[in-house]
Amino acid sequence: MHIKEVWKEHPLYQQKKIELIPTEWVWKYWGRDVSPEADLLDGTIVSINELWENILEVGLHNPLIMRVGLKNKKFRLEAGNHRIQVFHQHGVRLIPVTVQMREECGPHLADVMTDASHNFDAPEGFLISKITDEYMAPSEVFPDLKNLQKNANI
């Protein structure tokens, strides 16, 4: 199975702020209480199975977005909670991810991209300590990803 890598046309990819990340790493942080339906790029509401068929047909346009709040030391999968489900289910090994940096992160904020209520505490040393840009490459933010990427030969 090959998924068209349309996400490589995304401006953040050109800026080297999107990286391929092991699906199993992202899987640990998805919102388990996200709605059962997904929305396509055009806003059409579909089932998870229809989402997968759409990805196979037209490709993947946008990276998944992990949002990080440095002030409250929280993080969550902000965009891609439905896509991570189908990637995990269908054995997709690597997925494109970018990290959106904020002072705070969580379902309580006005600009959330998901209806899920999940949030994860960042243990000491899990995140970088300073925002240098609004979007960053995942391995710049999560130091443990550098070792995972090296071990996965990414």
Write out pLDDT tens, residues 37-78.
999 999 999 999 999 999 999 999 999 999 999 889 999 999
Picking from 75, 58, 77, the residue whose alpha carbon sits closest to that of residue 126 is: 75
- The answer to whether position 43 is within a domain reads yes
- The answer to whether position 124 is within a domain reads yes
- The answer to whether position 1 is within a domain reads no
- The yes-or-no verdict on residue 136 having pLDDT over 70 is yes
Instruction: Tokens 């979007």: give the residue.
Output: 135
Lowest mean pLDDT among 41-45, 80-84, 138-142: 138-142
What domain range is 128 assigned to? 6-151
Asked if 133 and 99 touch (Cβ cutoff 8 Å), the reply is no
Please state the separation of Cα 69 from the chain's center in Å: 15
Task: Tally helices (H) and strands (E) across the chain.
Answer: 6, 8
**Tally of domains in the chain:** 1
- The answer to whether position 101 is within a domain reads yes
- The answer to whether position 107 is within a domain reads yes
- The answer to whether position 78 is within a domain reads yes
- The answer to whether position 125 is within a domain reads yes
- The yes-or-no verdict on residue 148 having pLDDT over 90 is no
- The answer to whether position 118 is within a domain reads yes
Instruction: Tokens 């996200």: give the residue.
Output: 34
Task: State the chain's maximal CA–CA distance in angstroms.
Answer: 42
Residue 114's pLDDT band (cuts 50, 70, 90): confident
pTM of the model: 0.91
125: left (phi over 0), alpha (psi -120 to 50) or beta: left
Instruction: Tokens 């006005």: give the residue.
Output: 110
